[in-house]
Structures are given as C-alpha cells and as structure tokens.
Structure 1
Amino acid sequence: MEGSIAKELYSESLQLSSAELGSEPIACGDLQDDGPLWDVSDEELDRDSDLDREWQRRHDQFHTIGYRDGLISGKEASAQEGFNIGFKQSVLAGYNWGVARGVTSALACLPDALKERLIEDQEKRNKFQGVYETVHSVSTTDALKFFHDDVLRKKEEEQSEHSKASSNVSGMSKDSSGCSHLENYVGELQSLLLESPAIKSHLSVK
C-alpha cells in the first residue's frame, strides 16, 4: 500500500515537472514573438539619436549665424554712431570750407572790370586774390589734417579746462597757434565779405 502511494506521488511530481518543462518552449516562443518589439525599440532609439544629432547640428549652425550677425550689427551700430558724431563735428566746417573755395574761385574767374564793380578798393581785391590762392593751395588731405588737428586741440582744451597745471596751459596755448587753419581762412574771407556788400554768400558763422 505504501508503495502504491509513493508511486502515485512520484508520478504526480513527474507530471508537474513535465508540465513545467513543456511550458518553457512556450515562454521562449513568447519571447520570440516579442522579438519584433525589441527591434522597433532599437529603430526608435536610432531615430531619436539621429534627431538629437540633427538638433545639435542646427543649434550649432544657428548659434554661429546669430553670433556672426550680432557682431556685424554691433559693428554697424558702432560705425553709425561714430559717423553721426563725426558728421556733427565736421558738417559746419566742411560747408564753410566749400563756400570759401567756391566764392574765391568765382571771384577769380570774373573779368577785371566786373571785379572793380563788385570790389571798388584795389587793396581789397588783392586780399580776395590772396585768400583765393591760399585756399586753393590747401589740398583735400591737408584740409582733413587741419580739421583733425583742430578737433584734437579743442578736446585738449576741454580736458584741461579744470586743470591748473601751468605746463598744460602753456602746451595748450602752443598748440592753439597752429591748428585753426581752416577757421582762419574762412574768418578772413568772412571779414572781407562783410566789407563788400555787393558780394552775397552763405557762410555760416559759429
């Protein structure tokens, strides 16, 4: 009797073991069925990686473009600001210098009879002729240098206004003696025009 019971228990254990072993291929089959899912996940990972690389490439590209555009805009803004300042400083001097050249050239081209009608005094006519020769002896490069020197002189004067050092004052007065060529020429012409009402001009006095 005991042997039959043991046999039954042993047979049941064998059946359970066989059932467990038989279920393993099914589990493997399930894993094999799940194989395509793993393949899809790999493709998705690859696609995400490609998107990340593309995003980084675009980021670097547009970052470089933005940096370059920012530099260009900054240079343009700085250049425009410098131009505006320079224009304000030079427009009046340039205008007067152009008028001085134009007026003296026009007078020099007139016949002597017409000059005598406009300027009765011979001495004044000689002075006009002298201004004409002086003005036209100054080249464009020289005129720019004179103007630049004058701007520097005025800047030094502004900086040394509150300075009480005698050396700075003497240096300033020394520089002032040779830097206002354009203003001197225009001023000389202006004084001659004021004494000759028959000649009309558009010199602008500061």
Structure 2
Amino acid sequence: MSKQTYEPSAIEEQYYTLWEERDYFEIDGNRNIQKEAKHFAIMMPPPNVTGRLHIGHALTFTLQDIMTRYKRMDGYKTLWQPGTDHAGIATQNVVEKQLLSEGTSKEAIGRDAFLKRAWQWKAESAGIMTQQLRKMGVSPAWKRERFTMDEGLQTSVKEAFVHLYNKQLIVRGNYMVNWCTHDGALSDIEVEHEEHQGKFYHIRYP
C-alpha cells in the first residue's frame, strides 16, 4: 500500500544524487534535446563565506534555478556557474570575533596564523553553503564550482584591469576613501551610515 504523505527526506536526496551522477546539471546534461546555436549562461551571485545562507539567497537561487531549468528543458546549452566569494573584510571580521571569543586576536597570533585560520573558516563555511544549496535542490554546474580567490579567477581579474587601464577606461589616482583605524580602507558598501543631531557652522569671510 503506497504512503499517502510525501516525505521529502526519503526522496529528494536520492533523486538529487542521481541527477548529479548523471551530469544533468552540466552544460551537456540535456545533449539529447539541445538545439544548434542556442546558449544560456548565468552567474550565481557568489555568497560570502561568512556563515550560512539566508532567505535572500534562497529567493535569488530559486529564481535562477527556474530560469536555468526552463532553458535546459527548452533545448538550450546551459551554464549556471556556481561559486563562493572570499568577502574580504566581512570574512576577516567573522574570524576576528572567533579569536576574541578564544581570548586572543589577529595581532597576537600574527599574519600567517591568521590567514591559515581564515582559510580553515572558508573551507568549513563554503562546505556548509554548498550543502544547503543541494538541500534546496538547485541545479548549477557543480563540476565548475569556483572560489573568487582561485588562481585562475585572480589572473582573469588582473588581466581585465590591465586591459581597461591600457585603454584608459580606468585611471589610478589619489581619492578620498572611507578609513577605519582598526580595519583600514573600507568600500562604500561596507560602511554603515548613522545620522546624528549636530551643529553646522558657517564661516563668513570679510
């Protein structure tokens, strides 16, 4: 007698593993129905390796998965490129908080030990995130998974900047920047703005 209720834990992992084993998510996963000169590629906005995925990630990746699966079923050669982002200062802050909870600091353990600890955190955090994505059932090309600090990606970024610089599309110069005495330079997106009541002084020159 068949069960009347759907039990996802007993079914979803089994089928997801089968899909991966048969390379259904890879570029040629739909080779039997591919149409000539039909291509679709989309980049997964790489989540920062700062912990676990949140509801915003779930929404974004669900929408991208819908688009990718639709194109795949429509005969397009598809690539949904997965990956994770090193996140710079955000990841550094996570590791620093861990060290503080252990009664030490990045200054106390030194640069090399701190970088080693950051890479350990990356391995742990990224693993959790990819596991969460698999639990969601999304279908990126896992065999092409990348990390923004991978050597190949770093080389590509440097080449792109050199190319733009040589064409004078970007310039290097001195500019006002956000500065934190603890973390150093900060990008605009990493600054939290707060409004305070104060006084605005005008100086009248004779």
Structure ID, larger Rg: 1
TM-score (norm 1): 0.23
